Amino acid sequence: MENFDLGVVFAVLFEMMGWVLWALILLALFGLVGLGRVLLVERSISSRRLVRAEIIGVLGGFAALALMAYVTVSGFTDAGGPVDWLLIGLIWGGGLVGVTILAYAVMGLAGLYKSS
């Protein structure tokens, strides 16, 4: 493969995940828009809410690994080399970051609408 093409990456991901890919994209958009809304209204980051979101994010990292194992129909014993383990770590980290953002946004939006 000489050129990196996002269309090919999207096609492969869609072939593997189907409708789950669209659900993940919508969740990511909701999390980013919600985080933006919370930060615009509050003008600061709540450390208590961030720590709670990070704890939930750790579970999201493991959920991302479970989704990866389900989608690829393989297990962690199939990981052969260092690149496989690096990819597993990146997937876990992506799940951690994504769920942390989503959890912070949901908790922040719940607090905004609760105080109104």
| Rounded to 5°, angle at Cα 50 from 20 and 41 | 90
Q: How confident is the model at residue 10 (pLDDT cuts 50, 70, 90)?
A: confident
pLDDT surpasses 80 at 2 = no
The confidence score (pLDDT) of residue 73 equals: 75
pLDDT for 34-76, tens place per residue? 999 999 999 999 999 999 999 999 999 999 999 888 888 777 7
| CA distances from residue 58 to 53, 83, 90, 107 in whole angstroms, order as listed | 9, 22, 13, 16
Q: What is the mean predicted confidence (pLDDT) over 14-29?
A: 90
pLDDT at 1 over 70: no
Say how far apart CA 109 and CA 81 lie, in whole Å. 42
Q: What whole-number distance in Å separates Cα of residue 72 and Cα of residue 23? A: 18
Q: What is the Cα Rg of the chain in Å?
A: 17
| Residue spans per domain, the chain | 27-115
